[in-house]
Amino acid sequence: MSALALTGARADYGGQPVLGPLDLDINAGERVALVGRSGAGKSTLLALLHDRTRRDIALMPQDLGLVETLSVFHNVFMGQLSHHSAAYNLANLIRPFRREVKGVTAVLERLDMTETLWARTGELSGGQRQRVAVARTLFQGGHVLLADEPVSALDGPRAERVMEALTEQYETAVIAMHDLQLARRYADRLVGIRHGLIAMDVAADAVETEALDALY
Ligand SMILES: Nc1ncnc2c1ncn2[C@@H]1O[C@H](COP(=O)(O)OP(=O)(O)OP(=O)(O)O)[C@@H](O)[C@H]1O
């Protein structure tokens, strides 16, 4: 069953074409890594997938979208803002509810980040901020994940932990990434983008080095 689909999709910025036309069909239960050079069109493709589908999608953007003046707790809680009324969210902002603190702490535990719970997000390192955005995404829940470079600021073991957490939680995922080793390990399928078009679409265990070289 198709979870995400694009047909004849195109994108341009200020009239300048940057993506497509392309077709892409992603089945429920499939983990797809989007790979390709910087500027190839991966973020634009994720944005199109998000705009055309919207329902039940957790999105982790490349710029993280954190509120730096707020605590880690508040940023992670934002993953579930839409689950509650405005009054509940406001009350929880002023005086966090115990059950929400418990829920957010459980997600931070998975990422080895519990000690930052009440830290101001803007005071954290780049890698820690990236993990706060991952925690917010995990806290959001749902079945489908779109993530843009979720581990670009993380060292080896931390990147592994994040990829494990994301792929454990989301049965269907499209993740743009530069680390080809990680992409091959955690994705079922690799989609290579070159000059705004799909230049490669193969099972992760069948990808050949020459095909990857041609992308970069
Ligand atoms: N806001 C924008 N205005 C104008 N051009 C843009 C804008 N965003 C992206 N582009 C252009 O669109 C093309 C695709 O960019 P995109 O960010 O989708 O690539 P990417 O593969 O995600 O790159 P990276 O790996 O560096 O994140 C590039 O040529 C880029 O310069």
Note down the domain range covering 45. 1-56+142-216
**Stretch 154-161: mean pLDDT:** 93
Return the HEC string of 17-62.
EEEEEEEEEEECCCEEEEECCCCCCHHHHHHHHHHHHCCCEEEECC
Residues 132, 146: one domain?
A: no
- pLDDT for 2 equals 85
Overall pTM surpassing 0.90 (yes/no): yes
* Domain end point (choices 88, 116, 141): 141
How many Å lie between the centroid of ligand 1 and the Cα of residue 18? 8
Rama region for 141: left / alpha / beta (φ>0; ψ in -120 to 50; rest): left
Determine which residue's CA is closest to atom 4 belonging to ligand 1: 13
Which of 141, 161, 191 is at the close of a domain?
141
Best of 34, 42, 45 for a ligand 1 pocket test (most atoms within 8 Å of beta carbon): 42
Alpha-carbon distance of 64 to 187, in angstroms, equals 22
The encoded tokens of residue 127 equal 């890698």
Q: Write the CATH number for 211.
A: 3.40.50.300
Q: Residue 92 and residue 208: Cα distance in Å, rounded?
A: 50
Q: Does residue 198's CB lie within 6 angstroms of at least one atom of ligand 1?
A: no
- Residue 150: pLDDT over 90: yes
Average pLDDT of span 157-165? 95
Structural domain contains residue 61: no
- Same-domain status, 133 and 154: no
Residue 155 has pLDDT above 70, yes or no: yes
Quote the ligand 1 centre to 196 CA distance (angstroms): 10
User: What number is the average pLDDT over the span 152-163?
Assistant: 94
Q: What is the mean pLDDT of residues 52-59?
A: 82
% of the chain surpassing 70 pLDDT: 100
Q: Are residues 148 and 214 in the same domain?
A: yes
Residue 103: inside a domain: yes
Number of structural domains the chain divides into: 2
CA of 40 to the centre of ligand 1 (A): 7
Task: Using the mean position of ligand 1's atoms as its centre, give its distance from the Cα of residue 159 in Å.
Answer: 24
pLDDT for position 52: 84
pLDDT at 211: 85
Q: Is the CB of 202 under 6 A from ligand 1?
A: no
Choose among 50, 60, 42, 35: nearest CA to 184.
Answer: 35
pLDDT of residue 54: 65
Asked whether residue 99 falls in the same domain as residue 151, the answer is no
Residues 148 and 108 in one domain: no
Mean pLDDT in residue range 160-183: 94
Q: Express each pLDDT in 91-117 by its tens digit.
A: 999 999 999 999 999 999 999 999 999
Tell me: do 158 and 125 sit in the same domain: no
Residue 62 lies in a domain: no
Report the pLDDT value the prediction gives residue 55, as an integer from 0 to 100. 72
Structure confidence at residue 213 as a pLDDT band (50, 70, 90): confident
Is 26 a domain residue?
yes
Which of 141, 173, 204 is the C-terminal boundary of a domain?
A: 141
The verdict on the CB of residue 150 being under 6 Å from ligand 1 is: no
Q: Which of the four pLDDT bands, split at 50, 70 and 90, describes residue 216?
A: confident
User: What number is the average pLDDT over the span 164-187?
Assistant: 94
Within a domain: 102 = yes
The pLDDT of residue 89: 95
- Is any ligand 1 atom within 6 A of the Cβ of residue 38? yes
